[in-house]
Amino acid sequence: MSYALVHYPNINTENINQIRQKYDPQVDLIEPHITLVFPIVESISKNNLILHIDSILSKWKTFAICLKGFQKSWDEYMFLMVEEGKVDMVKLHNELYTGILAEYFRENLPFVPHLTLGRFIKDTDKFLQVLEEVQHLDLNYRCFVDKVHLINIIDEQRSIIWSQEFVLRN
C-alpha cells in the first residue's frame, strides 16, 4: 500500500477523460488530478501523515490555477500544464516534503505541476499525433486549489481504498 496527496480540479473533465480513456493507463484508478505528494510506501503512520499535512495546509489559503499547454515528461507522459499558479503549486509541494516526508523528496527530479493526459512509451510519432489532437480541444481551465485529498492505494496502484479531504482556508 502507498499514500499520495492529490488535488482534483473543479473543472469540466469531459474532454480530458476522452483523451485519458485512450492513453492513460491509470484512467480507471483515479479521476483527473494534480499530484502534490507522489505515492510513498506506507511506512509512515496514517495519523502522523494526517497531522503533517494538516500542519502544512493550516498556513495555506485557497489559490487560483490555470491548466493550459502541453509538455512531454522525461518518463514519456503527456502533461496538461499548470500555467498560472505554478509557483504556488511548487511551493506547496516543497513544503509538504519537509518533516516526516523529507526523506522522500526527490532533489534530482524537479516538480512539474501538471495533470496527466496519457503515456507514450518510446512512441514519439503517437505522442505528436495526440498532441495535435489535444491542441484542437482547447483544454484551458481556470479553477481554485481549495482542497486536496490524501489517498491510500493498494494492489500496485490498481485501486484506491480510501481518501481523506483537507480544505484550505479562504
Q: Span 145-169, mean pLDDT?
A: 89
Looking up cell 480530458 gives 16
* Listed residue (131, 125, 93) closest to 112, CA to CA: 93
Q: State the pTM of this model.
A: 0.94
CB atoms within 10 A of CB 42: 14
Q: What is the pLDDT of residues 75-129, one digit of tens each?
A: 999 999 999 999 999 999 999 999 999 999 999 999 999 999 999 988 788 999 9
Quickly state the pLDDT bin for 158 (edges 50, 70, 90). Answer: confident
Question: Distance between CA 34 and CA 36 in Å, rounded?
Answer: 6
Instruction: Please state the length of the chain.
Output: 170
Quickly state the pLDDT bin for 156 (edges 50, 70, 90). Answer: low
Is-contact 31 8, C-beta < 8 A? yes
Residues facing residue 66 across a β-bridge: 84, 142
Q: What is the pLDDT of residues 40-72, one digit of tens each?
A: 987 889 999 999 999 999 999 999 999 999 999
Virtual CA dihedral for 99, 100, 101, 105, nearest 10 degrees?
60
pLDDT for the residue numbered 42:
75
Quickly state the pLDDT bin for 157 (edges 50, 70, 90). Answer: low
